Chain A
């Protein structure tokens, strides 16, 4: 487990934990999680990485309250899912944004359903737009924007409520590499600028390591934690970081664990 003191970001308070206890989930009788326990530090960026079909998305869907668990509980610093301000960024922005309303109304939608006054909505919008230096024409409809712009809108929508926890389910997998690099920097800026816990599911190890303060490596089903690997590299981490020796070392360590788990699964299935 990553010690708070070892974290090289200065601003973070590091107190509570996200506690997942006795979590079980089966699909059609096939167990994905059985008595799964996990404790994640609040205010950190955790990347979840593991073999295909190990239930990475299932895990974050359950702990974000989108998918019911069979048994088990999740507590955010002692609070239940309902008491916690959670946001979620979906992999497929095309299907997650509402094409019938303009980009601006998409971003403001979570505030609208919370009955936040119009004035306050505008203030918050202006503040995040300037914070991230967004130059998108938000009066357009989502389908008039590029993929990267759409996912940016999606991300803005997720942070306008100032969430305590932000879940990201393979958010950049539909974007080209250039856009992905830019979006990784944007996401880091969100993380560094506010008190927020981020949990990212990624199928891209480079991305998982670049963004995380710790990488959570999962096994095959029934899924357990294979290892938790801290990433002690200074923020922000840009494209140059990707060739940094420390980065490469951590990445290859993650890859070793991953390969070991994949091989174990294969032996098991033979």
Chain B
């Protein structure tokens, strides 16, 4: 009786653990995957088994070119993102510090932000040719808009009391800028950076599919699809997901460390 109870408690403890919480989703997806295969809901030529997919993923990482493709994609993403951040953060702060300027630019930023990135692919290809530079430029452009928008919003919504407090202590405008507004804006800046890096990844992967490429995850996926190598395609999609999640996770970690005061 007593042992039964403690076994039950032990099981409940495991089920409530953080690892179990994290694994619930993936387990459900894989279960659904098997379910679909077993009931033949989807043509088995369109959907390989999970174990085939995962072993293919493992093989292509260990013996194949997967890591090279990840590396190539990641490099382009980071370039695009870095350019966007270096330009976007200061310009967002500048834009947000003046209601008047922001009011005039808001429509433009919102318009380009809402424009589907893929719509400008042909234009950028025409201007810069079929090169990595083009891919980076498009990714940087779209990420930049997201960053500038979020940073400007952060500055506009900065609590006025702290700025006033710094002013009352005799801080110069520049000082207030560096010591107060920058930090005040940091949480919103990070929101922008996190969305921007995800956006840069999306654009680079799409660009690798449709703007000529010899490697990269996008290229790998479209190549596998055209060669009807479906396990490779699914494995590559999984890899792209892992990369995206990893980048997002990294930013969340950084955010937590850096913006320790958020939520207090």
In the complex, the answer to whether B168 meets A66 with C-beta atoms within 8 Å is: yes
In the complex, the answer to whether B164 meets A66 with C-beta atoms within 8 Å is: yes
Q: Nearest chain B CB to A207's CB is how many angstroms away?
A: 21
Among A71-105, those with CB < 8 Å from B are 86-88, 90, 92, 95-100
In the complex, the answer to whether A113 meets B170 with C-beta atoms within 8 Å is: yes
Nearest CB to that of A96 among chain B residues? B165
In the complex, the answer to whether A88 meets B170 with C-beta atoms within 8 Å is: no
In the complex, the answer to whether B169 meets A96 with C-beta atoms within 8 Å is: no
Known pairs A90-B161, A95-B161, A95-B162; A100 contacts B261 (CB<8 A): yes
In the complex, the answer to whether A87 meets B169 with C-beta atoms within 8 Å is: yes
Known pairs A88-B165, A95-B159; A110 contacts B261 (CB<8 A): no
Nearest CB to that of A143 among chain B residues? B264
State in angstroms the CA–CA spacing of A142 and B171 once bound together: 20
State in angstroms the CA–CA spacing of A148 and B260 once bound together: 21
Interface string of B138-167 (1 = CB under 8 A from A): 000000000000000000000101101111
B99 contacts across to A, CB distance below 8 A: none
A90 contacts across to B, CB distance below 8 A: 161, 164-165
Q: Is A247 an interface residue (CB 8 A)?
A: no
The residue that A110 contacts in the complex, of B169, B183, B264, with Cβ under 8 A, is B169
In the complex, the answer to whether B168 meets A64 with C-beta atoms within 8 Å is: yes
Known pairs A95-B162, A96-B162, A98-B183; A88 contacts B168 (CB<8 A): yes
Q: Is B179 an interface residue (CB 8 A)?
A: yes
Q: Nearest chain B CB to A269's CB is how many angstroms away?
A: 31
Q: Is B47 an interface residue (CB 8 A)?
A: no
Q: Is A36 an interface residue (CB 8 A)?
A: no
In the complex, the answer to whether A109 meets B169 with C-beta atoms within 8 Å is: yes
Q: Is A141 an interface residue (CB 8 A)?
A: yes
Q: Is B175 an interface residue (CB 8 A)?
A: yes
The residue that A113 contacts in the complex, of B159, B171, B260, with Cβ under 8 A, is B171
Among B157-205, those with CB < 8 Å from A are 159, 161-162, 164-172, 175, 179-180, 183, 186
Among B228-264, those with CB < 8 Å from A are 259-261, 264
In the complex, the answer to whether A141 meets B169 with C-beta atoms within 8 Å is: no
State in angstroms the CA–CA spacing of A97 and B166 once bound together: 9
In the complex, the answer to whether B260 meets A141 with C-beta atoms within 8 Å is: yes
Most chain A CB atoms below 10 A, which of B162, B168, B175: B168
B260 contacts across to A, CB distance below 8 A: 100, 141
Q: Nearest chain A CB to B91's CB is how many angstroms away?
A: 22
B175 contacts across to A, CB distance below 8 A: 113
A142 contacts across to B, CB distance below 8 A: 261
Nearest CB to that of A61 among chain B residues? B164
Q: Is A11 an interface residue (CB 8 A)?
A: no
Query: How many positions in chain B have a CB within 8 Å of any CB in the partner chain?
Result: 21
In the complex, the answer to whether A99 meets B264 with C-beta atoms within 8 Å is: yes
In the complex, the answer to whether B161 meets A98 with C-beta atoms within 8 Å is: no
Q: Is A114 an interface residue (CB 8 A)?
A: yes
A99 contacts across to B, CB distance below 8 A: 261, 264
A110 contacts across to B, CB distance below 8 A: 169-170
Nearest CB to that of B186 among chain A residues? A100
Known pairs A96-B162, A98-B162, A98-B179; A66 contacts B167 (CB<8 A): yes
In the complex, the answer to whether B183 meets A96 with C-beta atoms within 8 Å is: no
State in angstroms the CA–CA spacing of A86 and B164 once bound together: 13
State in angstroms the CA–CA spacing of A51 and B144 once bound together: 50
Among A218-268, those with CB < 8 Å from B are none
Q: Nearest chain A CB to B260's CB is how many angstroms away?
A: 7
The residue that B261 contacts in the complex, of A88, A95, A114, A143, with Cβ under 8 A, is A143
State in angstroms the CA–CA spacing of A87 and B165 once bound together: 9
A66 contacts across to B, CB distance below 8 A: 164, 167-168
Q: Nearest chain B CB to A58's CB is how many angstroms away?
A: 13
B169 contacts across to A, CB distance below 8 A: 87, 109-110, 113, 157, 161
In the complex, the answer to whether B170 meets A100 with C-beta atoms within 8 Å is: no
State in angstroms the CA–CA spacing of A95 and B161 once bound together: 6
Nearest CB to that of A85 among chain B residues? B170
B161 contacts across to A, CB distance below 8 A: 90, 92, 95-96
Q: Nearest chain A CB to B187's CB is how many angstroms away?
A: 10
State in angstroms the CA–CA spacing of A99 and B261 once bound together: 6
Among A159-188, those with CB < 8 Å from B are 161
Instruction: Rank and list the top 9 A-B pairs by shortest CB-CB distance, nearest first.
Output: A143-B264, A99-B261, A95-B161, A88-B168, A110-B169, A100-B183, A96-B165, A113-B171, A95-B159
Give 15 A-B contacts (CB < 8 Å), ordered by A residue: A66-B164, A86-B168, A87-B169, A88-B165, A90-B165, A96-B162, A96-B165, A98-B183, A100-B186, A100-B260, A100-B261, A141-B261, A143-B264, A157-B169, A161-B169
20 extra interface residue pairs, beta carbon distance < 8 Å, beyond A92-B161, A113-B170: A64-B168, A66-B164, A86-B168, A88-B165, A90-B164, A96-B162, A96-B164, A97-B165, A98-B179, A98-B183, A99-B261, A99-B264, A100-B183, A100-B186, A109-B166, A110-B170, A113-B166, A113-B171, A113-B172, A157-B169
